[in-house]
Structure 1
Amino acid sequence: MTQRVDLSTVMDRLSIDAVITGYAVAVDDGAWTDYRALFTADGRADYRTAGGVEGPSAEVAQWLSQTMLLFPVRQHLIVNRRLDLQDLGGYPGDRARVQADYMNPMRLVGGPDAGGAEEAGAGDGPTAPNFVSGGRYAFELLRTDGGWRIHRVTVHEKWRTLSGSFSGV
């Protein structure tokens, strides 16, 4: 392999990592235009194992935009990324797969610091619980004229829990 091919592979890996990070940021920030832009024109998302829908990315973005209203505070983390680039005889191809674990803590409407009526320290009444889930994403990406894009993402939720109020540091 030449240095040029090695550099190309490194650049592909960095670009793909930026797409995966952009995905987490778009979902957490509710940036649904940005979310849709991360996908190929025929891109799809599958959230069925997490109680959601499967379909074209634009339709799933619409569903997410409504569903995430229940969770005004979101901060999910995508970690342990395993990236496999298509290998064309020592040269990188135009396809990639990423397996990555996630942990997704979210604050339900009305929880402390969620902008609801029950803010931290606002009394002794009950608060909405936090919702946390974890699992693994399976991303399939394609190189396009606009750079790497998600062709398909599938969520494989492994666990979820509700917890009482959170007290931050």
Structure 2
Amino acid sequence: MPDPIPADRPDEEVAPDLGQGPASATDPSPDGQVLDPARQGDVLAIQDLAIAYAHAVDDRDWRRWEALFVPDAHIDYRHSGGIAGTPAEVAAWLPGAMAVFTFCMHSILTHEIRFTGPDTATGRVHLLNRNGLEWEGAFEFCDIGGLYLDDYVRVGAHWRFARRVEHTHYVTGGAFAAVVRDLAADAAPDRPPVAG
């Protein structure tokens, strides 16, 4: 691998070392850089972590879900009407919160990962959650779309979540979706209103 651009070259902008190889003087962005094989493995492991998260929620496997986080991680679901807390606190809350749904299908899309150190990274990933439920005597869908903002940390041979904050952009569906939007407004008044 070539040496990074020396910081003592004042006429060229130097990109931060994101562990993704050196950036050129004309394009300091890590976008589209070819990663070395070890970093490619890290990207795949972090993507697998995000996929495991979605399946753990859909399978209601709260033990698996909790194990995807470091014990002192911060999780914030307030913008979708939920709570914020540690993995243990949120894992204790999830079974009751998710019991209303007859099924859940969590999809994650356009996952962007940026390495901040040898064993740390940040990420953002779009989410689309289709949920089905019986509400007020009728079946309805409740669709949630938004963005997860994540911090990741390597723990031994695994990557884990150190932080996950959900930013909900919309909640659509029937009467239950309106309930979720109201809960989100009450739980996260500092964030933009959730569209419906």
C-alpha deviation, 1:147, in angstroms: 1.1
CA distance in 2, matches of 1:103, 1:75: 8
Q: Share of identical aligned residues, percent?
A: 31
**Shift in CA distance, 79/11, structure 1 to aligned 2, threshold 3 Å:** same
Q: Is 1:83 matched with 2:108?
A: no
Equivalent position to 1:108, from 133, 143, 146: 133
Q: 1:62-104, CA deviations, whole angstroms, 9 ceiling, x for partnerless residues?
A: 11111100012000101011111125xxxxx111111011111
Shift of 1:146: 4.5
Rg (Cα) greater in structure: 2
What TM-score comes out, normalization by structure 2 length?
Answer: 0.69
Amino acid at match of 1:105: R
CA RMSD of aligned residues (A): 2.1
Unaligned 5+ segments in structure 1 are: 88-92, 112-125, 165-169
Aligned equivalents of 1:105, 1:54: Cα separation in 2: 22
Bigger relative contact order, structure 1 or 2 (CA pairs below 8 A, ≥6 apart): 1
- For structure 2, the 5+ residue unaligned runs are 3-34, 176-196
1:18-167 mapped onto 2 (5 Å cutoff): 18-87=48-117, 93-109=118-134, 127-163=138-174
How many residues get paired? 144
- Map Cα deviations across residues 9-42 of structure 1 (whole Å, 9 max, x no partner): 0110011111000011111110100001000121
